[in-house]
Amino acid sequence: MALSELSYAEAAALALQHEMEADANVVVLGEDVGRGGIFGQYKGLQQRFGTERVIDTPISEAAIMGAGVGMALAGLRPVVEMRVVDFALCGMDELVNQAAKNRFMFGGQGRVPLVARMPGGIWDASAAQHSQSLEAWFAHLPGVVVVSPATPQDNYSLLRAALRCGDPVVYIEHKALWGVRGEVNTAQVATLGQAARLRDGDGFTLVSWGKQLQMCAAACDTLAADGIAVDLLDLRTLWPWDREAVLASCGRTRKLLVVHEAVQAAGFGAEIAATAAEATGCKVARLGAPRIPVGYAPVLEAQSRVSAEQIVAAARKLVG
């Protein structure tokens, strides 16, 4: 067992290093990866593995994603860096119409085992085109896996699991988590589609993912002072999502609140709430951002954030 305290970015770089050492077919391509990436998530990798495995590309997301799909079909396991999820929209045809559908359209003869890293979420003072949470788009897309790590440990373990998946993975790291530090056990193995229980309680079930878990944890502390014990689940993987864990909790607590940073309208929380209501008959509630672009000015940006206070208010209304 190797334990280290690492940042979210350092954990990702270490996971890639270990996978690249174990499998010569793992390669990286994207803008600025040679200098470590804009968040340091590739730091030192080009120096260790060379320019043929850590490849700096032109500024063309369509070309980067297209090249990654071709590499994957040829037998490599590419990590495709999109810088931020907002920029990945320029490469959507290659992901949606090629990577996601190839295995199905060609009877399993083609596989596209790429990991598309698309940092998402609100990035302080970065405005509408750099602060989107688009995970529901990809969860809606047949043929891809969607992952959202919330901690350095998960960013290490889930990235390694994603690289071994065999199917295209949309890997959404939160833009505001790169500097967060935590203990990382490099022997810990993650399973895609398996949620993590962060707190145990019978008051109600609270489901979230990514950075929003920080606000959920703060809300749980406030609710605990009121005598409300929360069953807090970190979904970790949006597709496949851990129906068994969520439904078991909802069946026990009979109440569910789903919270996400993404816009609430048509957000992935609706899928979880509807499934839980249909399967268990529990009382459900959702909490997400309003359907507005993220503003640049702090006072406008704050309107798109889901605060711990809002979670507490929604929880109190839910439990009645």
d(CA 199, CA 10) in angstroms, rounded, equals 26
How large is the angle between the packed helices 8-22 and 152-163, nearest 10 degrees? 30
Query: Per DSSP, what are the bridge partners of residue 233?
Result: 197, 207
Q: Which of 130, 140, 174, 260 is catalytic?
A: 130
In single-letter form, the type of residue at position 305 comes to: R
Read off the tokens for 86: 């907002």
Non-local CB neighbours of 289 within 8 Å, separated by 6+ positions: 133, 261, 262, 263, 264, 304, 305, 306
The question of whether 260 is a catalytic residue gets the answer no
* Residue type at position 42: Y
Burial 204-230 (b: 16+ CB within 10 A, else e): bbbbbbbbbbbbbbebbeebeeeebbb
The verdict on whether omega for the bond into residue 240 sits within 30 degrees of 0, i.e. cis, is: yes
User: Would you state the torsion angle of the CA atoms of residues 81, 85, 90, 96, taken in this order, to the nearest 10 degrees?
Assistant: 90
Between strands 204-208 and 169-171, the pairing is: unpaired
Listed residue (170, 102, 165) closest to 139, CA to CA: 170
Q: Identify whether the C-beta of residue 125 lies closer than 8 Å to the C-beta of residue 115.
A: no
d(CA 220, CA 226): 10
Q: Is 20 in contact with 192 (CB distance < 8 Å)? A: no
Q: Which residues are catalytic?
A: 130
